[in-house]
Amino acid sequence: MSKPRSRKGNDVDGILLLDKPLGRSSNSALQKVRYLFNAKKAGHTGSLDPLATGVLPICFGQASKVSAYLLDSDKRYIFTAQLGETTTTGDKEGDILETREVSKFSKEQVEAVLEKFRGGIEQIPPMHSALKHNGQPLYKLARQGIEIERKARSITIHELTLLSQTEDTITVDAHCSKGTYIRTLAQDIGEALGFGAHLSMLRRTNVSPFDCSKLYTIEDIEELAETNKLADTLLPIDSALIKLPSIVLNDEEAKRIQNGLKVSRRDIPTSDMIRMYLENKVFIGIGRYSSDHQLAAKRIMQIN
């Protein structure tokens, strides 16, 4: 039997790697999972469109204090570009703008085009995105038929691997930096091939720095909720920061940091973000190396 639900919700801290289903918005998936956990507070990091599936980190409780740092992390996707058709939204949910004949093309041709997109490139964000213009999301303007000039942004495509191809599609594995729009990448690759394209399938397979080999579906969460085993699905908060340098504080130093004071040590990592731990390995927050060469608090966790 599951426990009675609290009206206000329970204090839940940790990170869930959700496998977002097809056809559901990121916010809808978030609210469903939050309900199943009966959690007071939850948020996601880096939304996925309804047509996309895959890794959607859900940050519960105090994990929300580190969620902003996940927005800056590298991501990995598998996507399929439908060649010969461009659409109003850049994906299969939009209306067809143009149809072109797709002539026979080789793997070597595709590889030559993909090479142009590897490394540092400039990308113009799509109108159908959450970026804002004068406080208004671009996608809302796009729905009104309004197009705003967008500045190109620098992104990095670390890896771009052709997985398969048919007579009119290519499926690609992309490891990319923050700010990369895969629908735009699919469109641009299609244009470079000479056929035009739109995004027909998208799955996010990894969010750095997590090991995303184990994901939980909403169905998994529903089953685990029935047996009160939801806590087993949660990663610790500091798992999102594992690549950062760390420092261990004694009780006196920890109290100073928690009271907003600085700590003087010779072994403070010279970093703007430092994981801070108590001697019993409890994570207490994020610190920084200050201009006066001391350890200062950046985000502090509440310790029970």
Region of 66 on the Ramachandran plot (φ > 0 left; ψ -120 to 50 alpha; else beta)? alpha
Distance of CA 38 to the CA centre of its chain: 23
Active-site residues, by number, are 49
Fill in the DSSP letter of residue 218. Answer: H
Determine if the peptide bond prior to 209 is cis (ω within 30°): yes
The Cα–Cα gap between 22 and 247 comes to 41
- H-type alpha helices, the chain: 26-37, 67-70, 107-117, 138-143, 182-193, 218-226, 251-258
User: Of 194, 199, 162, 163, which Cα lies nearest the Cα of 181?
Assistant: 199
Residues 6+ away with beta carbon under 8 Å from 195: 83, 84, 100, 101, 102, 103, 105, 168
Tokens of 9: 């919700």
Cβ proximity of 117 and 151 under 8 Å = no
User: Of 267, 264, 274, which Cα lies nearest the Cα of 297?
Assistant: 274
